Amino acid sequence: MAKREQEHDQLPMPDGWFAVEWSRGLHDGDVKPIHYFGEDLVLFRTRGGQARVLDAFCPHLGAHLGHGGRVMGETLRCPFHGWQYDGASGACTHIPYCDEIPARARLRAWDVVEKNGMVFVWLHAEGKPPQWDFPELPEIGHADWSEPRLVDHEFEAPIQDTHENNNDLVHFQYVHGVVKMPATEIEYSENGRHYRIVSHGETQTPFGTFDTSLVRDSFGLGLTAIRLLGFPEAGLLMFSSTTPIDERRVHSRWLLTATRNMVDLAGEEFMRNLTMGVQQDLVIWRNKVHRGRPVLCRADGYLAQFRQWARQFYSQPVGEVHTVDPVNRKEGA
């Protein structure tokens, strides 16, 4: 076994909502094979406009419904023998050459919601229905905000490690070259699924320097909204969803928009800086291992809080967070 494999602590897939497509990328009647969560799936939009996701392989003779399958009203027809499956329930509703439908003729239908410009699927290791929701962001699609810019990244990393970056304040200095870290506060909501990080600083523009706040809202592992606030009647937003392809790779979707009076002022710089930042992170993510029991120092309090918070999104137990007392060299949780 390679040394990296020995050092790596594999995480299970977390529970939660994860994007599988952009809304604008799925038109009525479209059928697409997709692969997420280590599963072969089929995504389609019904004639009524509903986005649906089913397991990919027909229970009849195993054809992949994403390759040649056809939308028929609210159902998806298998390309092999024409069996039709309801998008909402996964049940077979029609066999063109037989009146009797076998009881086991059904596919798993995944819970789907569509908001914030993306199609989301609910993942739960124990198959439980959705346990929580996440907000619809009013900026996206609003007439006063710019047409969203869409960015896709696919790379090797555990999803938890990519999300942990928000709480890893020190890495902004060494990876991203931030000379002075702004004053930062973290607040966890009462329901526990959401937390907010607020950093205060100054933003320089051709029209002056503004006291601004960078507000990062997280809604479970992989879902984040970042807003730059403090400009008079203006703002910038990035909404992102990072989805496990399997246990080692993720697909991250970024939606970036700004108020129309802000696009030319600072919007392009905001979008470019965020995109450049992830490129710097990729060098680390591609080559690191995940430490299930990291050795943290006293100054890593935000990271310890994040690890504790992240546990709730796993149906299977994950490792303890360990720190080292730098004075007495004693290990503790």
Residue 204: predicted pLDDT: 63
Can you tell me the distance from the alpha carbon of 313 to that of 126, in angstroms, rounded to the nearest whole number?
12
In whole numbers, what is the pLDDT of the chain averaged over residues? Answer: 88
CATH fourth-level superfamily of 149-287: Naphthalene 1,2-dioxygenase Alpha Subunit; Chain A, domain 1 (3.90.380.10)
101 secondary structure, DSSP code:
P
Ranges of CATH 3.90.380.10 domains, the chain: 149-287
Residue 169: predicted pLDDT: 85
Is a pLDDT exceeding 80 seen at residue 333? no
Residue 325: predicted pLDDT: 37
Ranges of CATH 2.102.10.10 domains, the chain: 16-123
- pLDDT tens by residue, 29-84: 999 999 999 999 999 999 999 999 999 999 999 999 999 999 999 999 999 999 99
Can you tell me the distance from the alpha carbon of 168 to that of 300, in angstroms, rounded to the nearest whole number?
8
Rg (CA), the chain: 22
pTM, two decimals, is 0.90
CATH topology of domain 16-123: Rieske Iron-sulfur Protein (2.102.10)
Residue 265: predicted pLDDT: 67
Average pLDDT over residues 236-252: 94
- Model confidence at 125, pLDDT cuts 50, 70, 90, reads very high
Number of Cβ within 10 Å of residue 328's Cβ equals: 8
Average pLDDT over residues 275-304: 88
Average pLDDT over residues 140-155: 93
Q: Which long-range contacts (CB under 8 A, 24 or more apart) does 57-61 make?
A: 58/83, 58/107, 59/92, 59/104, 59/105, 59/106, 59/107, 60/105
- pLDDT tens by residue, 165-205: 888 888 888 888 876 777 788 888 877 899 999 988 776 66
Judge contact between 79 and 90, C-beta under 8 A. no
279 secondary structure, DSSP code:
H
Is a pLDDT exceeding 80 seen at residue 90? yes
Is a pLDDT exceeding 80 seen at residue 104? yes
